[in-house]
Amino acid sequence: MSKNEKRADLYRPGDEFEPLEYRVTTEWNEQFREALEAYYPRYEEEAALGPPIVVPGLFIGNSNITRSPGFRLEPGMACVHTKEEVQYINPGKVGKQFRVTWKVVDYYEKRGRPYQVKEVTIVDNDGEQILRRMITDTYMGGPYEGGKEGESTEKHPENPSNKFTNDQRRKNKISTASPVRKAEPEGSMFAGQIRTVSLERINLFSGGFPKGPNWPAKNIHTDLEIAKSCGLTTRAASGAMFEGYLTDLMIDLFGLEWLHYGKMKLAFINIVDKDDTLIPTGIFKSKQIVDSSVEFTLDVYCENQYGEKVIVGNSIGKVV
C-alpha cells in the first residue's frame, strides 16, 4: 500500500478506490460454504452449464470497501457498513477471475460522522457483470467518537430462546423455505434454517484467504481488542454474513434464476456477536402480474435469539 494513499474516510464523490482482482478457488468457495452454513449442492457440484456457483456471500464479503488494496485507516478507526442496495445480474462460477471496483458517489455528515455512498461492481474475466451494489458506510473511532449506528443499547432478556423452533413454526404457520407457488397468498411467512454465528465461522468469513501463520486477520469482526479500540463493546460479526443468509433464502424460494435479477435493499441495525443464532425470514407483502410472471415483494430480515432484528429490508422475487 502506498504511503501516499489517503485515509478512506477522506474520499469524496468522484474518487475511486484501488480495484481488487481475485480468482475464486474450490478451497475458497468451500471456506465460505462453511462460514455461512451454505451446504447446498449448487456450491460444490458441477452442473450441466459448468463449474459450481460461487457462494454469493463470498462476493458480498469481498466487495466491502475494506477489501480494496488501497483501503487505509488510522489505528483505532473502523469502517462500519450501515445500509445498501444490491442487484444480482449473473451467478459467478468457481475458477474464474473477478474484478471489483469502487467509486464514491455521495458524501454527507450526520451526528458528527461522515457517511460515504459507494457504487460497487463485480465483473468476471469474460466481462460478464455479476452484481452491482450501492453501499453506505460510516466511520467510527479516531476523530469520530460518536455511538455506533446499529449497536443495540437495550438489555437482552435473561433467558433467550429463538422463537423459531419446529413446534413454533407449526403453531405460527411459518413455512420452511421451499419453492414459491404463484398462488402463494400475501402475508405468507417463510424462514430459512437457523444459523449459529460461531467465532470459527466469523473467522472463516472475515479472517481472509488463504490461511497462513497470521490467520485470521485481526479486525473488528475477529478480534475483541481491536473492536474495543474502535469504540465497540464486543466483536461485530460482518453484516455481509447476514446478507448472505438472506440471499440463500431468496434462492431457496425463487430458484437460481434469482441470481439473474434479484434485488435487495437492506439496513444493518444491530450488532451480532459470536454464538448468536439468527434466522433469515421473508414475508410476502404484495404481488403483481408482470408479463407471464408473478412478481412478489417481500419484507426480509434476520432475527436473533432475543427476538431482535439485526438486518431489515425488502426484496423481490418472480415465479414464472
Round the CA-based radius of gyration of the chain to a whole number and report it: 19
Instruction: Give the pLDDT confidence score for residue 173 in this predicted structure.
Output: 38
Higher pLDDT, 14 or 165: 14
The grid coordinates of residue 39 equal 451446504
Nearest to 310 by CA among 180, 141, 188, 162: 162
Mean pLDDT (the chain) is: 90
Judged by average pLDDT, the poorest of 7-21, 31-45, 177-191, 246-260 is 177-191
Q: Does 123 have pLDDT greater than 60?
A: yes
In the chain, the amino acid numbered 182 is K
Q: What percent of the chain has pLDDT over 70?
A: 88
Angle at 30 between CA 27 and CA 34, to 5 degrees: 140
Which tens digit of pLDDT belongs to each residue from 72-95?
999 999 999 999 999 999 999 999
Instruction: Give the pLDDT confidence score for residue 149 in this predicted structure.
Output: 44
Domains and CATH numbers, the chain: 8-146+156-319 (3.10.129.10)
**284: which residues sit within 8 A by CB, 6+ positions away?**
184, 185, 186, 187, 188, 189, 190, 296, 297, 298
Which tens digit of pLDDT belongs to each residue from 155-194?
555 555 555 454 444 334 345 667 888 889 999 999 999 9
> Residue 13: pLDDT band by 50, 70, 90 thresholds?
very high
Instruction: Give the pLDDT confidence score for residue 84 in this predicted structure.
Output: 97
How many angstroms separate the CA atoms of 303 and 310, rounded? 6
Cα→Cα distances 41→6, 75, 240, Å = 43, 41, 22
Which tens digit of pLDDT belongs to each residue from 279-300?
999 999 999 998 889 999 999 9
Nearest to 8 by CA among 134, 144, 121, 112: 144
Angle at 175 between CA 236 and CA 88, to 5 degrees: 55
Q: Does 314 have pLDDT greater than 90?
A: yes
Instruction: Give the pLDDT confidence score for residue 159 in this predicted structure.
Output: 57
Q: CA 271, 121, 280, 67 torsion: positive or negative?
A: negative
DSSP 252: H
Instruction: Give the pLDDT confidence score for residue 156 in this predicted structure.
Output: 59
Q: Does 51 have pLDDT greater than 80?
A: yes
Which tens digit of pLDDT belongs to each residue from 196-208?
999 999 999 999 9
Q: CA 221, 153, 160, 264 torsion: positive or negative?
A: negative
How many angstroms separate the CA atoms of 293 and 287, rounded? 10
How many angstroms separate the CA atoms of 31 and 54, rounded? 11
How many angstroms separate the CA atoms of 269 and 224, rounded? 20
Q: Does 151 have pLDDT greater than 80?
A: no
